Structure 1
């Protein structure tokens, strides 16, 4: 069974950024490598969507934690951690779906009984805490252009694949650099093009990143869409477009946007394909 193209923007924090209970969960899983974690996440997703009774919510089991090894300022590989927070994220996804779909289709995908049961399983205090500090954002059938602002060509890149092709591409950078890049781009757009939706997106992303430890690492995980676009120059094109707007070069800005649109419109068209 195939999955939709889903990409992720994740924040990995150092161990001491988590409370004692979260640290125990992390320490119990830190020996599992990234490939095994992704396989576990996919298999659990498949198990949920193939239940005999329609219910996409997680019922039990510990939350999955991803581990990212990234060089510390001293140059030593240091582990950083990103909890999956699946219970909260699935609840938010179901709420978002309820605004875009109407019954009876919504009832078939997320029955009322399943939603009620999910609410009963959630601890209100834990839910509120996770909601205020959600480590993962996801996007289906394409990557928001605002995410590319956070990264540069010389950031760390990991190409994951086998003999059959590319499975995903992951970019990673220190959160302090990502915040600076987003702030600079937002300030530039506020002067040059205050009406662009990208300005609002960057403002919101910056506020989100500021809730985490400044020793964190931000990762953009392309997911399966990587094999359709990699090698990808989207971070360069987004930055070039913003710089052209600041300089008043509308021709250059239009050319950068055209390159982006040409690259990603074919992905978004897949979402509407039969």
Structure 2
């Protein structure tokens, strides 16, 4: 799973912030590499508990568990992009709210037969599920979550938010090393400016569907957060599927920016070549989703 995260200044979470949140930020026990395992653990726990929970990080009566406040990623001063000050930057996992949003999407898009099968197996009605999901979303600090995630691939428009030279690469000792990482980190101001420019360029040349729609949605999402935030694009668990030589020479960010430049200059030949390279590179990873 790959991630697009926003880390907000601690002061953006209230004046003063919740004491449990402050303590979690000071402890900073959850690492970026452990976040995926934590999410998986919370998911599994919600299903094996008797009775099972509709959403992870939720108590039996439907209220949010304390972990919704304390499960946070924290950037220390050395990891913060310049110009954001010395205040801790915090990214809540918000697994309960993210799961609720996914559930609402499922209820809207799933085939009726599949939806009814899922509801019957859980002994719940559609109205009850929607009510519980809405309650989980309304209890969030923000009307949007701090983390967007996808499985098996990375949406290419996300690379417009970062610059290739902002790359952070750690190969570690192999594919299953928890320290293994490929990510990019930038300031909110830079991310907003880049996505706005990319959206305008793509919409004017390719139309308002596909990549342009993703860029527009991402731009609106970024506007929901504090201007002094940091934005992180992280390959997450995808790095476990890519061999060292390929990961080390990954040029996706460069090629996406090359596509944007080709759109500016009208270089159709270069544009086609870059699209072909990206389709071949990511097609193999995306194909694994169909086999799982």
Unaligned runs of 5+ in 1: 1-5
**1:213-270 alpha-carbon deviations (Å, 9 max, x no partner):** 1110011121211233423211111111121122111110011111111111112211
- Tell whether 2:200 aligns with 1:187: yes
- Tell whether 2:96 aligns with 1:87: yes
Question: 1:108: how far off?
Answer: 5.1
Task: Give the whole-Å Cα distance in 2 for the aligned partners of 1:37 and 1:271.
Answer: 21
Q: Is the 8 A contact 1:186 1:202 kept in 2?
A: yes
> Structure 1 stretches (4+) deviating beyond 6 angstroms?
74-77
Q: 1:71 aligns with which of 60, 69, 80?
A: 80
Per the alignment, residue 24 of structure 1 pairs with 19
Per the alignment, residue 249 of structure 1 pairs with 267
Q: Is the 8 A contact 1:244 1:253 kept in 2?
A: yes
**1:114-164 alpha-carbon deviations (Å, 9 max, x no partner):** 87378458747x716546232111112211111111112221515374445
Task: Give the whole-Å Cα distance in 2 for the aligned partners of 1:99 and 1:121.
Answer: 13
Task: Give the whole-Å Cα distance in 2 for the aligned partners of 1:180 and 1:252.
Answer: 25
Task: Give the whole-Å Cα distance in 2 for the aligned partners of 1:48 and 1:264.
Answer: 32
**1:55-108 alpha-carbon deviations (Å, 9 max, x no partner):** 451223221111122336369865310112222211111122234433554455
- Tell whether 2:115 aligns with 1:97: no
Q: Is the 8 A contact 1:57 1:118 kept in 2?
A: no
> In angstroms, what is the RMSD of aligned CA positions?
3.0
Bigger shift: residues 142-151 or 74-83: 74-83
CA 1:156–1:145: 2 relative to 1, 3 Å: closer
SS of 2:161 mapped into structure 1 = coil
SS of 2:183 mapped into structure 1 = strand
Task: Give the whole-Å Cα distance in 1 for the aligned partners of 2:112 and 2:48.
Answer: 21
Task: Give the whole-Å Cα distance in 2 for the aligned partners of 1:156 and 1:211.
Answer: 25
Q: 1:148 aligns with which of 159, 169, 175?
A: 159
Task: Give the whole-Å Cα distance in 2 for the aligned partners of 1:161 and 1:264.
Answer: 22
User: Which protein is richer in strand relative to its size?
Assistant: 1
CA 1:264–1:164: 2 relative to 1, 3 Å: closer
TM-score w.r.t. the length of structure 1 is 0.83
Q: In the TM superposition, what are the counterparts of 1:129-148 in structure 2 within 5 Å? A: 130=141, 132-148=143-159
